[in-house]
Amino acid sequence: METTLSDINLSDIKNDVRKNLSLAQKEQENQSLFTVKTANDWIEEAKQTPIPNMLFSEFWFENEVCILFADTNLGKSILAVQIANSISKGSSIKGFKISANAQKVAYLDFELSAKQFEARYSEGFTNHYVFSDNFIRANINPNTDIPKNISFDDYLYASIEKMITDFGLKILIVDNITYLRSDMEKAKDALPLMKNLQKMKNKYDLSILVLAHTPKRDMSKPITINDIQGSKMLINFTDSAFAIGKSYKDSSIRYIKQIKQRNTEELYGYDNVILCQILKENNFLSFDFFDFAEEREHLRTNYDNETSELETGIIELAKQKPQMSIRGIAKQLITNHSKVGRVLRKHGIIKTVEQVEQVEQKCSTIPKQKMLDV
């Protein structure tokens, strides 16, 4: 039977043409280093993918390679475990946000032994914190024999990929970057590492947080991309980055600052850093949010008398406003109540820890003169 034009569906013809054009375009894309499309085609393709969720407020989103850097002993690992715990349970950290659902997260721990990890998340090795089964921790197996025909770096990345596929992982935290590659002083040394991380991210649809050190820095200057250990080019190859700084006013205060972001505007930069203290409530060591501040308020501005100025301010405020609580003094002077209590005890205004607690409880009812005599 002969087919006539009336039997042909015009819609089918259009669909076939689009299909053939699409196949031709994909074939052309695969023959070049570049994937070339019109801007509108890129947007149409992007519209089919989900909007990235927050993993740690505006600091880290899904499908990003992110770097968290800080000086030694400022709590990078503490915050990173706290973030991993938050993601594994799908619950936010106080003062921060998460929009992603609970999911598996792998924490590659090249820093702590199992016993050190236990100590942080227990009360004297008893009453242990219970993590979600979504939280997977890994460290190097010292009994592993590395094949002779493969380098350690290649074997390390192959092992990471195997873990990703075995556990169906989408979230990876690496503590820390120097274990992946130690010679990162120059861009040419940092580039292979970051290319590997970006390759894994794209291949497995991962979100990766990498911890890095900073060398000793000038505490009178704000934290910048130049403070990361090794080549600052590292950050050029990442999607986002944030840092932990230590307050010069009070060494017990930490602040968290955005350094680079692509999925959001800068919200926690120089003029609005997040203030935290490291606390251990029962069996979980963590960053405890308590305020926002300008970074300059926590930088060294006078090498000789910054500390004495803070102490003077605490003493004067305690005398001027004797009914103000210790926490009130701390908030007004942008420090913490522990520091205020120490200064008042040091200068004999309050003599014991017990009196600090009593003053906190009774400050609203104690007469002014009596308050000064405590």
Write the pLDDT tens digit of every residue in 186-216. Answer: 555 667 778 888 999 999 999 999 999 888 7
User: Phi and psi dihedrals of 108, rounded to 5?
Assistant: -85, 105
Element (H, E) at 226: none
CA–CA gap between residue 260 and residue 255 (Å, rounded): 16
pLDDT, residue 193, reads 77
Instruction: Give me the pLDDT at residue 66, please.
Output: 96
pLDDT of residue 195: 84
Question: What is the SS3 assignment for 245?
Answer: strand
Residue 113, pLDDT score: 94
pLDDT for the residue 364: 47
- pLDDT attached to residue 303: 41
Architecture category of domain 54-298 in CATH = 3-Layer(aba) Sandwich (3.40)
The alpha carbon of residue 162 and the mean position of all alpha carbons in its chain are separated, in whole angstroms, by 25
Going by their DSSP bridges, the two strands 135-138 and 65-70 should be labelled as unpaired
pLDDT tens for each residue of the chain, 374 residues long: 555 555 556 666 666 666 665 655 655 555 678 889 999 999 999 899 889 999 999 999 999 999 999 999 999 999 999 999 999 999 999 999 999 999 999 999 999 999 999 999 999 999 999 999 999 999 988 888 888 899 888 898 999 999 999 999 999 999 988 777 655 555 556 677 788 889 999 999 999 999 998 887 888 899 998 888 665 678 888 999 999 999 988 989 999 999 999 999 999 999 999 999 999 989 999 999 999 999 999 998 754 455 577 888 898 888 888 888 898 999 888 888 888 888 888 777 874 444 555 555 555 444 444 333 33
Is the CB of residue 315 less than 8 Å from the CB of residue 324? no
Token pair, residue 312, equals 């003077």
Write down the pLDDT at residue 153: 83
Global pTM? 0.74
Q: Which residues of 262-285 are buried (b: 16+ CB within 10 A; e: fewer)?
A: eeeeeebeeeebbbbbeeeeeebb
Residue boundaries of the structural domains of the chain: 5-47, 54-298, 306-373
The pLDDT of residue 369 is 41
